[in-house]
Structure 1
Amino acid sequence: MNYYNLEVEQSVLGALLITPDLIYESTVIEEHFYHENHKFIISAILKLRDQEQLIDFVSVSAVLGDKLQDIGGVSYLAELGRSVPTTGLFKSHERLLKEKYLLRTAMKRIKEIYSGGHDQPKELAAELMSVAELIMDQSKNEGGLRRISQGLRDHYESIEGKAYDGVATGYSTMGADLDRVTGKWQKQTLNVIAARPSVGKTSAALNNAVINGKEGLAVAIFSLEQPELQLYDRMIAAECLIDSSNIKTGKLLDNEWEKYTIGFMKLAELNIYIDDRPGLSVQEIRSEVRRFKKEHGEIIVYIDYLQLINGGKAFANRNVEVGYISSSLKQMARENDCPVIALAQLSRGVEQRQDKRPMLSDLRESGNIEQDADTITFLYRDDYYNQETEKRNIIEMIVAKNREGEVGTVEMINLKNYGKFVNYERAHTNSHT
């Protein structure tokens, strides 16, 4: 494999020498070139550009000074100019030049990683993933400016969906009221659903995953806490409205067997995939999602739950590691053009307050979750803490952060025996600022 292309380097330099104005459209730098002589030449051209001086064979020769003879003299500069019959391919050659540079950079970093003697597979995977991220990030930077007419076409499709559907385009959440508040799950967003243990995070995610599956999406569920069969227990109970305790024991009533058979067939048709490997690293999840996206196209990703993900390498403390993980999940949403819904566990600090409804401050000790998330929805059940409450079997969906919409509280009926949430047809919203 060649890590440089002599002809491409010569073509880029030749085009700049015969059409100097191209340098003002270009983003090439010395490091993009492999050959030392070519680095000297581009350095001279860039110096003249920065000094706003005329760029031609004479001025470039003057800047090169003593190095001119080292590179082959004026005759080599002239040869570069003659080697380019047209500058029409300049952008294409510039891109090839940068691709070779990225390849050299990656290979150099990989050699450094292997020579470092990593003895932990996940740490090695994390380092290799960092190389992949570097290449992907730098490749994406080639996008540049986009004409407004192109962007407005995308906007038209979005506003048209709102006009006809009454809600934002996107993928459905658990209910119509929550759709209206959140604006649905949007592509390239990280959405966090957080609560204390046993409040209903996993049920919420599975309810939502089934809804998305019925919308025709390919759904990826990473269950780091519970094995796959337990998730099927929950999904079947909610879909078939069979008491979850009967599902767990296998003691179904006669009418429940009929429900089970119908629900089983419906669920089996959905494009839902589950990975229940415990201790997955964020790099392993990103790699799997990238493959999943390539295979299925339109996808949505659920992770249960964020704090169980392994950072894959050494960190100063767990807080820093969780911050790295949340940032990586946000990048994953963007690079795969999909929503990511990550469940998060809240600390016991919630229990110390008289009003135990979660707040954004309850996440501030968990890395950068609050900063990275596009939406944060807290789950709260008053009957979890107060047996005498008037809000029995009601779960509050507290949308505490919404980068692109409203914040507020939506109430849903919590059918606990089935692990099912249904619309309560009542929402309280506040204007988002």
Structure 2
Amino acid sequence: MSMEIPRAVEAEKALLGSMLIYNDIIDDVIADLETDEVFSIEQHRLIFRAIVEMSRERNGAIDNLTLKEHLKRKKLLTKAGGVKYINSLIEEETFNAPSYISIIKDKYVLRKLLEISDMIKSKVINSDNTPDEILDFAEKNILNIKIKNTKFELEDISEIAKAIISQVGEILESKKPIMGIPTGFKDLDRLINGFHKGEFVIIAGRPSMGKTAFALNIMANNLRNNIPMAFFSLEMPNRSLVWRMLCIRSGVDASRIRSGIVTRSDYQGIVIAAGELDKAQIFIDDSSSLNEIELRARARRLQKEHDIKIIFIDYLQLMSSSRRYDSKNTEVSEISRSLKSLAKELNIPVVALSQLSRAPMQRQTKEPILSDLRESGAIEQDADVVLFVHRPAFIDKNTEEDKNLAKIIIGKQRNGPVGTIRLVFDGKSTRFADFTDEIIRP
């Protein structure tokens, strides 16, 4: 059964005619359509291109007479429908350009969807690509249609500068900084002002240093802010994560619960904490095997359905790639770049936990540095912010530091200072808390 191709020939003719009659709309129409591809037949594409060329030349009025001369000079008049067809465009003096544009773009989207569906079908039948790669191809191409179908407006730099000045004025009046999603730790937020839209953030540390606990503490600190959050856990099952969050919020000793030693006070604390989680917009995916294509697809769906504002991934080195690479280093580099791209695409912070190499253990200070990021230098390059979780007493039993001291070292911040802040870590409940107002700078 033959399928009728979605077209809006009459709307296309009416729009082209309107451009010939009302030259003052030409620039707006060109900016709105951007490409001649939106026209369904070749003669309309030729006419539109000719009008665009004449508009650029600025050699006087653009009407059916000058259009015919332009096409004749280019030896395209016959292909564009001839003299009679050009004259027919202005026979009915109609003017409803916004409606014509809307109809034309809708039909264009339908044609592109048919085209993409044919390409997907071809890939399924003839290609060696994996299902994940085909799904990613489909998702990317459909998303590109949506982006191209959205009106694009350039902003003058003076307008952007005015908006920034206005924002600075508000900061001056309120005495408050530009704040992203807060971590809930006042010293850390004072230095980084929370996690900002489009940022790729790394939380790194040696095993058992408290990376996951720190990320969960940040989520717990945002419960009252009612921020939709997603947590992709490749290491721990969702039940264990929720247990941890309940202990963080209640302050209950997790080991006592596992040992079956629960007091009435513990129970009441857990119930109150559970009530807080019940109201939270937290979405946990504990798939133990996840590649960058699957994560991107799930993140897009979560944002569309739940408007998530931040994503946590635990942890980067456990992710796999949809393609095979000769080395783990190359694979991690590609995953890192894809997470950076995801943050920009969704315009939300993407926070990935990362392992460190054993290099800190070989140094006297034991404090981690950027080159310790395991498997890839690309992580250091891609990240906007790198936070190291470091507990001196855990890594060095002979240290004179407080056994409950945790240092959060800001190893990199693209738009701000680096430094170190102190927190208190309660190992029993895995809760982090503010230590003092002191900020240590390098």
Aligned-partner Cα distance in 1 for 2:328–2:216:
28
Q: Is the 8 A contact 1:397 1:410 kept in 2?
A: yes
Q: Which residue of 2 aligns with 1:44?
A: 50
Contact 1:220 1:274 in 2 (8 A): yes
Say whether the 8 Å CA contact 1:320–1:367 is kept in structure 2: no
For these two proteins, the number of residue pairs brought into alignment is: 431
* Distance across 1 between alignment mates of 2:9 and 2:333: 43
* 1:77 aligns with one of 65, 79, 86: 86
User: Is 1:411 the counterpart of 2:422 in the alignment?
Assistant: yes
**Counterparts of 2:416 and 2:172 in 1: how far apart (Å)?**
13
Bigger mean CA offset, 353-362 vs 89-98: 89-98
State how far apart, in whole Å, the 2-side matches of 1:374 and 1:20 are: 47
Equivalent residues of 2:205, 2:390 under 8 A apart? yes
1:326–1:367 Cα contact (<8 Å) kept: no
Aligned AA for 1:187? K
Q: CA deviation at 1:180?
A: 0.5
- Judged with a 3 Å threshold, the aligned counterparts in structure 2 of structure 1 residues 3 and 97 are, in CA distance, closer, same or farther, namely closer
Superposition map of 1:299-378 within 5 A: 299-314=309-324, 318-363=328-373, 366=376, 368-378=378-388
Please, which moves more after superposition, 252-261 or 393-402? 252-261
**Counterparts in 2 of 1:236-247, with a 5 A limit?**
236-247=246-257
Equivalent position amino acid for 1:75 in 2? K
Distance 1:32 1:56, change over 3 A: same
Instruction: Work out whether 1:207 is the aligned partner of 2:217.
Output: yes
Which residue of 2 is the match for residue 422 of structure 1?
Answer: 433
1:282 to 292, 314, 321: 292
Report SS of the residue matched to 1:81: coil
3-state secondary structure, aligned to 1:347: coil
Q: 1:276 and 1:292 mapped to 2: Cα distance?
A: 15
Mapping of residues 47-66 of structure 1, within 5 Å: 47-54=53-60, 55-65=62-72, 66=75
SS at match of 1:217: coil
Gap runs ≥5 in structure 2:
none
1:350: how far off? 4.0
Aligned partner of 2:17: which letter? G
1:217-259 Cα shifts (integer Å, max 9, x gaps): 1222111111011112322222222222223333334543343
Output the amino acid matched with 2:410: V
CA distance in 1, matches of 2:173, 2:367: 35
SS in 1 for 2:222: helix
Identity of paired residues, percent?
Answer: 31
Deviations 1:60-87 (A, max 9, x none): 3344344422433112112223356126
The one-character-per-residue Cα deviations of 1:166-224 (angstroms, maximum 9, x if unpaired) are 44333220411011011112233322212222111100011111111221112221111
Cα distance, 1:355–1:108 mapped onto 2, change above 3 Å: farther
Read off the aligned partner of 1:222 and give its amino acid letter: F
Residue range with higher mean Cα deviation, 26-35 or 312-321: 312-321
Specify the alignment match of 2:10 in structure 1. 7
**33-42 or 351-360, larger mean C-alpha shift:** 351-360
Task: Tell me, in whole angstroms, the C-alpha distance in 2 between the residues paired with 1:184 and 1:162.
Answer: 19
Root-mean-square deviation over aligned CA pairs? 3.5
Name the amino acid aligned to 2:47. Answer: I
Q: Distance in 2 between matches of 1:177 and 1:168?
A: 15
2:35 paired with 1:29: yes
Q: How far, CA to CA, are the matches of 2:362 and 2:119 in structure 1?
A: 48
Give, in angstroms, the shift of residue 317 of structure 1: 5.3
Between the aligned partners of 1:72 and 1:201, the Cα distance in structure 2 is 68
Stretch of structure 1 that moved more, 141-150 or 298-307: 141-150
TM-score, normalised by the number of residues in structure 1: 0.84
Matched, 1:257 2:257: no
| Residues 14 and 112 (structure 1), Cα distance of their counterparts in 2 relative to 1, 3 Å cut | farther
With 33-42 and 155-164 compared, the bigger mean Cα shift is at 155-164
CA contact (8 A) 2:180 2:196 kept: yes
Cα separation, 2, equivalents of 1:395 and 1:46: 63
Which of 109, 115, 123 is matched with 2:133 structurally? 123
Normalised TM-score (structure 2): 0.83
- 1:197 matches 2:203: no
Moved more, 25-34 or 196-205: 25-34
In structure 1, the gaps of 5 or more residues are none
Superposed displacement of residue 93, structure 1:
6.0
Partner of 1:181: 191
Letter of the 1:423 partner, please give it.
D
Distance 1:405 1:281 in 2: 31
Show the counterpart of 1:224.
234
Aligned with 2:78: secondary structure? Answer: helix
Letter in 1 for 2:224: K
Q: Does 1:248 align with 2:248?
A: no
Partner of 1:390: 400
